[in-house]
Structure formats: C-alpha cells, structure tokens
Structure 1
Amino acid sequence: MIWSLIIGALIGLIAGAITNKGKAMGWIANIIAGLVGSAVGQGLLGTWGPKLAGMAIVPSIIGAVIVVAVVSFFFGKSNQ
C-alpha cells in the first residue's frame, strides 16, 4: 500500500514534469494522477516493461501524462 502511493507519486511527478504542470499540482494530485494514470496506461498499453509495486512503469507514465493533459485541458486556468 505505501509502496503503491510512493510509486504513484513518482509517476505523477514525472508526468507533471513532462507536461509542465507539475508545479501547479500538489503532491496529493501527483499521487492521484500517478495511480489513475497507471490504471489508464496499463489498460490501454498492457503491463510490459519494468514493474514496481505492481505497476508497469512505462505504460503508467504514459497513462499519467494522458490523465494530466486531459485534466489540465478541462480544469486548467485560462490566460485571458
């Protein structure tokens, strides 16, 4: 359980850095993005590659990038 939260936070942190939204998200949002992104990525791409805490790292990061991009598209602040 603790490992899943730690790995989820790392995956969310990496996804936030890739999308440049990491500073806008808090650490709880990083954990949620990592865990949800892991489920999305493994559902779409399978469970190939190295695994930590039961999560395939590469598909999880790709899924988290998708989740962060979609959420920031719908809930991001506009620059008007």
Structure 2
Amino acid sequence: MGWLWAIIVGLVLGLIARAILPGKQNIPLWLTALLGLIGSILGNAVASGIGVHDTKGIDWIRHLLQLIGAVIVVGIGSGLWARIRGSEDRGAGRARASRDHQV
C-alpha cells in the first residue's frame, strides 16, 4: 500500500510542479508521476539532512521541500524529454529528406 501512496503523491506533486513551471511541458502522465516521485524523494532527503523530523501535525516544511524537489526534477526532466524527442524527430526528418532527394 505504501507504493500506491508514493505513486499518487508523485503524480500529484508532478502535476502541481507542471502547473508552477512556466511554459508547456510536453511529457506523458507516467513521466510526470515518476519525476514527481523522484522529486518527492529528494525533498525528503533534504528535509532529513537539515533536521526536519516528523511532527504531530502537518509537516509543512517537508511538503514544501518535496514540492521544490518535484519542480526542479520535472523542469529538468521535461527539458531532457524534449531534447530526446526532438532529436528523434530531427533524425526522422533527415531520413525523409534524404529519401526524397533519392527519388
């Protein structure tokens, strides 16, 4: 059950991060959830590293650090995804152009 919650939290944080980031992030939903999950894990690590411990109430500092981690990771990940997808599209375009010149 812990993994299900981790995926849900990752998706929610990833979607919030996409809403915060300027411009459009052309990444699939599964990648949004994965990047949000990674950002959440990094935020937890930073929170533990600076001494933020679980509280009896809502742990706002930990949640804020998770969100910041998700924004950073989604921003980097969407840029990498665009670069990877763009190079595939350019490669297909060059192959098409080469084929058209042979005719």
Common fold: TM-score over 0.5: yes
SS at match of 2:27: coil
**What corresponds to 2:42 in structure 1?**
40
Unmatched segments (≥5 aa) in structure 2: 54-58, 87-103
The offset of 1:23, in angstroms, is: 4.9
The answer to whether residue 27 in structure 2 is matched with residue 25 in structure 1 is yes
SS at match of 1:64: helix
Contact 2:32 2:74 in 1 (8 A): no
TM-score normalised by length of structure 2: 0.56
Which of these two proteins has the greater Rg computed from alpha carbons?
Answer: 2
Unmatched segments (≥5 aa) in structure 1: 51-55
Query: CA distance change for structure 1 residues 21 and 11 in 2, over 3 Å: closer, same or farther?
Result: farther
Q: Percent identity?
A: 30
After TM superposition, the runs of 4+ consecutive aligned structure 1 residues lying more than 6 A away are none
The answer to whether residue 72 in structure 2 is matched with residue 70 in structure 1 is no
Contact 1:13 1:22 in 2 (8 A): no
Aligned residues: 74
TM-score normalised by length of structure 1: 0.69
